[in-house]
């Protein structure tokens, strides 16, 4: 591995509407396997992005850390790494959703739509609609995390949909290795975005899986990130 994670604190940020429970299960086995210390901050939906940044700042007060996450969490973590190069040893980016401004990215549109449904119909009805259009494993995960983040969840989704991820030019300035993971058949987090990130960053590798594999075991995401990092 280009960088050893043994004894390193790895701070992992959840995706939009998701939670620390999921991101922990996605990464813990792979990271514990290389001796890392896993930290998964609980999302603060009323101040989602600021809460993530505060958690990264706090974790890096005494020693360099590795950072990462899923979707929005991966974007926030990578942006933080770009602005704190001396405080980071590696980035683990799972399911990056867009590069630069969100514009009409599918994940941003989905977050805006979910926020509007939650405000219009309420939590119970929105969950029922989400469950009707989602695979059972995803519906179960989101039901738990949405309940936990209500009633500020719509605000969190709007904040996520506005978030400007690192641009390709900014990714070209990343000074640490980055392991990227993506699903080849995920319409919300297109694999093309992950390919763009991997191509832009100076030291990055990409590993892929399918949504069926992810649904059967969330740990395939963390394993893919760690395996990608090991290629560098």
Q: Phi/psi at 97 (nearest 5 deg)?
A: -100, -30
What pLDDT does 207 receive?
Answer: 98
Blockwise average pLDDT, block size 10, the chain, 232 residues: 89 97 98 98 97 98 97 98 98 98 96 97 97 95 97 97 98 98 98 98 98 98 97 92
What pLDDT does 104 receive?
Answer: 92
What pLDDT does 2 receive?
Answer: 72
Q: Which CATH architecture has domain 9-101+164-230?
A: 3-Layer(aba) Sandwich (3.40)
What pLDDT does 194 receive?
Answer: 98
Is the distance from CB of 92 to CB of 67 less than 8 angstroms?
A: yes
How far apart CA 86 and CA 176 sit, in angstroms, is 9
For 18, other C-beta atoms within 10 Å of its C-beta total 24
What pLDDT does 200 receive?
Answer: 98
Report which of 41, 70, 46 is spatially closest to residue 58, judged by C-alpha positions. 41
- Domain positions in the chain are 9-101+164-230, 106-158
Question: pTM for this structure?
Answer: 0.97
Please report how the helices 153-162 and 48-59 are oriented relative to each other, as an axis angle in degrees rounded to 10. Answer: 80
């Amino acid at each position: 591995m280009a960088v050893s994670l043994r004894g390193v604190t790895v701070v992992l940020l959840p995706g939009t509407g998701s939670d620390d429970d999921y991101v922990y299960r996605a990464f813990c086995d792979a990271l514990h396997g290389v001796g890392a210390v896993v930290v998964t901050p609980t999302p603060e939906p009323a101040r989602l992005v600021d809460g993530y940044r505060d958690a990264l700042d706090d974790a890096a007060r005494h020693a360099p850390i590795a950072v990462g996450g899923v979707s929005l969490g991966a974007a926030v973590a990578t942006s933080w790494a770009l602005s704190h190069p001396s405080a980071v040893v590696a980035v683990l980016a799972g399911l990056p959703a867009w590069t630069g401004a969100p514009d009409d990215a599918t994940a941003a549109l989905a977050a805006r739509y979910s926020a509007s449904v939650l405000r219009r119909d309420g939590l119970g009805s929105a969950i029922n609609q989400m469950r009707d259009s989602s695979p059972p494993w995803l519906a179960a995960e989101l039901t738990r995390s949405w309940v936990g983040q209500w009633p500020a969840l719509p605000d969190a989704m709007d904040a996520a949909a506005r978030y400007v991820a690192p641009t390709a030019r900014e990714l070209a300035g990343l000074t640490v290795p980055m392991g990227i993971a993506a699903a080849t058949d995920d319409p919300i987090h297109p694999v093309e975005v992950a390919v763009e990130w991997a191509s832009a960053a100076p030291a990055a590798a990409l590993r892929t899986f399918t949504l069926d594999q992810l649904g059967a075991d969330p740990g395939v995401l963390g394993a893919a990130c760690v395996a990608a990092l090991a290629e560098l």
